Amino acid sequence: MTEPNASIPEQVSRTRAGEPVTFLEAIAEALWEEMARDPDVFLLGEDIGVYGGAFKVTRGFLEHFGPQRVVDTPISEGGFTGAAAGAAHMGLRPVVEMQFMDFISPAYDVLTNYIATSEYRGAGPLPMVVRGPVGGGNRGGPFHSQNIEMAFFHTPGLKIVYPSTAYDAKGLLKAAIRDDAPVLFEEHKGLYRAPGLREVLPDEDYVVPLGSARTVREGDALSIVTYGAMVHRSVEAAERLAEEKIEVEIVDLRTLLPMDDEAIVETVRKTGKLLVVHEDTRTGGIAGEIAMRVSEQAFEWLDGPMLRVTAIDAPVPYSGALEDVFLPGVEDIVTAARYLAKY
């Protein structure tokens, strides 16, 4: 397909200019670069073309790549996710945007029963990405604030990615688009334009491999395993604890499925204590799976109970005061870590 001549949109020009990039701009750059690199990559979703997306990630994409590669869809998540699967069967690499990941539930059937099982059934791989904003803290209420990872974590055949930095967001999204498996890509909206997360990114092409965790901070008193926005709250908590001579090691999972068991076991063997922090609700959250894997693979290294800091078991409240209680905070992490360090 030919691409009309058009100027590069502002949100995908920072790296080329050597300027710091926000989390949102890193996502936009990844999409732009992969579309420019591979003509089989195309985008589809609600309001991503003319409007440029609810968060303006794809502003200017339609003018540059044209309507065959930036496709505005009806409000039918199950329908356009199924259409993306058909396109992937034909050799294309679709990237589906959910306006908010809360709205992925109508596509649960096609994702779990059809897309995830495709290669297992001999129908071939389905190289496609479903991406969109997740997470609370923005007073969006129960329909615009959820974390959806555990609804799909139990589904063999899917990969789940949840970055915490601009560098990782760009590199992981590029890796996801190039992967031959279907990938769910969660983007915490609270990180999109956070000024403290701006980074100068490499001007050359790079990817961050799926399935590999990252040690954010070294420590020996206890390990925090976390991901997404909770990485930054955990770092803030660790800095406070360091004033009490409690040095916390922090591991950012980055990819939830497949999970980097080796990195988790390595940090637990080093510190002997594990605290799992995630924004998702408590019951059935990923903390339970991580704790079970540690029990199976590193039990003899534990010097204390495995603990978790999570959201409470409730829908996300509209009220700001209630949402602050609902979400795990820095003080919650500090309290749990302090208890565990002294155990």
Helices 330-342/230-242 angle, 10° precision: 50
| pLDDT, position 3 | 43
pLDDT per position as a tens digit, 290-300: 999 999 999 99
307 is written with which tokens? 């603990």
Catalytic residue among 64, 89, 144, 154: 144
Q: Supply the pLDDT for residue 6.
A: 56
3-state secondary structure of 111: helix
- Is the pTM higher than 0.85? yes
Give the model confidence (pLDDT) of 326-342 as tens digits. Answer: 999 999 999 999 999 99
pLDDT value for 55: 97
87-120 pLDDT, tens digit per residue, is 999 999 999 999 999 999 999 999 999 999 999 9
With contact defined as beta carbons under 8 Å apart, do 337 and 248 qualify?
yes
**pLDDT cut 70: percent of the chain above it:** 98
Q: How far is CA 252 from CA 30, 124, 196, 215, in A?
A: 21, 32, 18, 6
Is 278 annotated in the active site?
A: no
pLDDT given for residue 91 in this prediction: 96
CATH numbers and ranges of domains, the chain = 10-197 (3.40.50.970), 214-342 (3.40.50.920)
pLDDT, residue 2, reads: 35
**φ, ψ for residue 211 (rounded to 5)?**
90, 10
Convert the pLDDT of each residue in 111-144 to its tens digit.
999 999 999 999 999 999 999 999 999 999 999 9
* DSSP three-state, residue 94: strand
Peptide bond into 195 cis (omega under 30): no
**So what's the pLDDT on residue 157?**
97
Number of other CB atoms surrounding residue 142 within 10 Å: 13
Q: Mutual orientation of helices 261-271 and 286-298 as an angle, nearest 10°?
A: 70
Statement: residue 5 has pLDDT above 60: no
Q: DSSP labels for 256-319? A: EES--HHHHHHHHHHHS-EEEEEEEESTT-HHHHHHHHHHHHHGGG--S--EEEEE-SSPPPSS
When the pLDDT of each residue in the chain is averaged and rounded to a whole number, the result is: 96
Q: How much is the average pLDDT of 41-51?
A: 98
Q: What is the pLDDT of residues 53-79, one digit of tens each?
A: 999 999 999 999 999 999 999 999 999
